[in-house]
Structure 1
């Protein structure tokens, strides 16, 4: 079975030569065209920041259910705060996912033109260290995501900074996730049903725990258990649409582990990198060819697309 490549982004951010930087861009682009997924190492995010954040996330999810539900915003689309166990449902799935999560969004000045679309964060008073660790990880992943997008811009013939002013106020989300132990054998639900992500790219911290599987072009489910120093970065539906499927948004899932392993909790933290809400997702001319005509003649704003998809996965 094929293996999803892992690349060292220092070849882009601090290259040994211009030739090696260009080779990295070519390899990254080819990896995404084939898989929609890649492992990124050499990312420079301090392991202590990741460890401290995960310690705070475990404390959060260990709180009593009634305490966590104080931070649930009914009909808020899960935009901020807590979303309880078995609420989110993968598109077209019969069963809700076996997970609970918390959403941390971008901190904006309240006079920002996007303030109405990005409410203030909710911070759990019972875990006072959560705020600094979670938002520190948010900022680090936001910066790394910008580097990945810069490399992809070059790969499709755009200026390196093409995405910079389109994501600087992006409606991006950090999602600490908890998959509780599975105590009932043969449940029809899985920890996360087969789905594609909504956003431009997703950066996943904590894919070193088994369970993530990616659907290959051949129709095989390929496990992707990354090394501890690797962040998994995958293409989302917005970037797939923008690039006319040059970069595919690949179906993936988190399966239930076999036997006694199912009785262990699993934690992971994806960062969903979104464009600014008013960014118009319109197919890039460079991604339209006679062999790949435009699949999306009607553009849509990032906010409009997000709201459409949140309804499909039962968060709104």
Structure 2
């Protein structure tokens, strides 16, 4: 497995990026339009939020799932009964958010979502005809009217040494959605799983943008674009006392979008959420 690092400004970038997604489920972009200074500023502001008691005023509600999820309510990956070592805030444009964070967060959300639509156009344009013919509508159009796309701001707290033996920051999982955009964190730790079971570090340099295929795009492409297992491992002993902020943007189609003969986006999401809930019950 080789995850390509693609220069966004290169004339062959679309083909190279789509090839990497097809072969690995992941692609890494450099010289992309999401400014690292914007990401850094937003990360710093959200870190202040997580380090304050103000976060408890914005706890999620089970009916909407927007807001703050404390460590004890963190999700467990499918097939696991141990929760990840993280806390996070799920930001939706329609949902709750501290007033002092809303404008900057919403601006980033809108810009990154627009850029994701362009990447979906690349994917559609360079899908083989036999694959593209199965798309029920243009891939970027699947996002239209969707209220499910979500920016998850993750805070991985410093490790204290009393964590469960098998607990890690994010256990092996696949993303449910169409496409995920992740600006590279200052701290390494993201790994993808090869077909032989070996774990491979994702290229993780300052300013890079990691993009990966979700289950819904895998379903819509009939497996041509794989949804690859990935995880975030615990830091080495020398850096275990550092916290980490990560901001993946999960792009979801409108619930009525038909992914395949088996699923709409809504039926697929419902099935996966039920699986995740059973994992922690």
TM-score, normalised relative to structure 1:
0.80
Q: Is the 8 A contact 1:32 1:38 kept in 2?
A: yes
- How far apart are 1:56 and its partner, in Å? 1.3
Matches of 1:304 and 1:72 in 2, distance apart?
26
Runs of 5+ in structure 1 lacking a partner? Answer: 12-19, 108-119, 283-297
Is residue 2:244 matched to residue 1:244?
no
Matches of 1:225 and 1:177 in 2, distance apart?
20
Residue in 1 that maps onto 2:150 = 173
Report the 3-state secondary structure (helix = DSSP H, G, I; strand = E; otherwise coil) of the residue aligned with 1:93: coil
Residue in 2 that maps onto 1:117 = none
Matches within 5 A, 1:216-255: 216-255=194-233
Q: Structure 2 residue aligned with 1:83, among 54, 60, 69?
A: 69
Matches within 5 A, 1:15-164: 20=11, 23-64=12-53, 67-76=54-63, 78=65, 80-87=66-73, 88-105=75-92, 107=93, 120-125=94-99, 128=100, 130-156=101-127, 157=129, 158=132, 162-164=138-140
Matches of 1:276 and 1:93 in 2, distance apart?
29
Matches of 2:176 and 2:142 in 1, distance apart?
16
- How far apart are 1:73 and its partner, in Å? 2.7
Is residue 2:214 matched to residue 1:215?
no
Change (3 A) 1:29 1:164: closer
Matches of 1:86 and 1:3 in 2, distance apart?
36
Residue in 2 that maps onto 1:288 = none
Change (3 A) 1:186 1:103: closer
Q: Deviations over 1:107-162 (max 9, x none)?
A: 3xxxxxxxxxxxx310124xx1x111211111121012111111110111449x92
The higher relative CO (CA closer than 8 Å, separation ≥ 6) is in 2
Q: Is the 8 A contact 1:8 1:40 kept in 2?
A: yes
Matches of 2:185 and 2:225 in 1, distance apart?
21
Residue in 2 that maps onto 1:182 = 159
Change (3 A) 1:186 1:53: closer
Matches of 1:203 and 1:309 in 2, distance apart?
20
Q: Is the 8 A contact 1:209 1:266 kept in 2?
A: yes
Q: Deviations over 1:228-275 (max 9, x none)?
A: 111100000000011111000000000111213111111110000111
Residue in 2 that maps onto 1:286 = none
Matches of 2:249 and 2:262 in 1, distance apart?
25
Instruction: Give the greater-gyration-radius structure (CA).
Output: 1
- How far apart are 1:59 and its partner, in Å? 1.1
Q: Structure 2 residue aligned with 1:202, among 180, 184, 187?
A: 180
Runs of 5+ in structure 2 lacking a partner? Answer: none
Is residue 2:242 matched to residue 1:313?
no
Q: Deviations over 1:176-195 (max 9, x none)?
A: 10000111156321100100
Matches of 2:206 and 2:85 in 1, distance apart?
24
Q: Deviations over 1:200-233 (max 9, x none)?
A: 0100123442110100123210011422111100
Matches of 2:13 and 2:36 in 1, distance apart?
24
Q: Deviations over 1:44-76 (max 9, x none)?
A: 122332122111111110112xx3232123313
Q: Is the 8 A contact 1:84 1:101 kept in 2?
A: yes
Change (3 A) 1:103 1:121: same
Give the number of equivalent residue pairs: 271
Report the 3-state secondary structure (helix = DSSP H, G, I; strand = E; otherwise coil) of the residue aligned with 2:52: coil
- How far apart are 1:165 and its partner, in Å? 2.3
